[in-house]
Homo-oligomer: A and B are copies of this chain.
Amino acid sequence: MSSPGSKQLLYARFAEIAKALGHRHRLEIIELLAQGERSVEALAERAGLVLANASQHLRLMRRAGLLVSRRAGKHIFYRLSDPAVLELTAALARVGERNLAEVREIVSGYFNERDGMEPVSRAELARRLEEGLVTVLDVRPQDEFALGHLPRAINIPLRELSRRLRELPKERAIVAYCRGPYCVLAFEAVALLRRHGFAVRRLEGGYPEWRAAGLPVAESGAARA
């Protein structure tokens, strides 16, 4: 070919980005960062990695252009470099769901067993929120809720849910959400609440998808260090 290698160079860079996505733990870190900026330590703890290992993964993704970091005091905070990163992981998931039998089995097995109902679309929830007809339940950990959440959402982390059921209304519709399409928290919450007779459905996607769609969000203002 007469190509002078510019394409080769570009594709080498693009391949690096793909490689940076090509690890279970790194995809999980991206899911966490989609909730908002976090320190290396917080990410390591949440992802179940030792600090140095998490640091390695983060550095790799930063070099690939997926993440950016900033220093604040003695902590270093990472965040997604660009909303396009979320589109990228969404495209990855879509290819998987449509072309890998095993993925479809996991989804229909585990996830549909917890919630066989269709999720509530973002558009529908936005409408019903305006009408004030629905209680929105955020089952993520408190710190993630603080970084940003749906308007008027109440936060009951999944692990506290069973002992805080009285905070939820029985006569109103509830819509639960968490980190994203493959986050198990909302599925578990829906299964638990249904067993207790609540009228609960799950939101399509999670908080990052809601925000990426340009819908209104709220912040607790608290954690912004």
Contact = CB atoms under 8 A, between A and B. Distances in A.
Contacts of A6: 106, 109-111, 184
Q: What is the count of identical protomers in the complex?
A: 2
Interface in A86-128: 87-96, 98-100, 102-103, 106-107, 109-111
A4 B107 CA distance: 13
Interface string A61-94: 0001110000000000000011011011111111
Which 4 A/B pairs are nearest by Cβ-Cβ distance?
A: A65-B99, A19-B22, A18-B21, A18-B22
A26 B183 CA distance: 30
Interface in A9-68: 9-19, 21-24, 26-28, 48, 64-66
A87 B95 CA distance: 9
Interface residues of A, number: 59
A92 B22 contact: no
A23 B23 CA distance: 14
Interface of A: 1-4, 6-19, 21-24, 26-28, 48, 64-66, 81-82, 84-85, 87-96, 98-100, 102-103, 106-107, 109-111, 158-159, 182-184, 188
A2 B103 contact: no
A51 to B, nearest CB: 18
Given A17-B96, A18-B18, A4 B48 contact: no
Nearest to A99: B65
A102 B24 CA distance: 27
A84 B81 CA distance: 23
Nearest to A111: B6
A2 B24 CA distance: 18
A196 to B, nearest CB: 17
Contact of A66 (B19, B23, B90, B95): B95
A7 to B, nearest CB: 5
Contacts of A1: 48
Given A11-B24, A110-B4, A81 B99 contact: yes
Nearest to A30: B11
B93 A91 contact: no
B95 A84 contact: yes
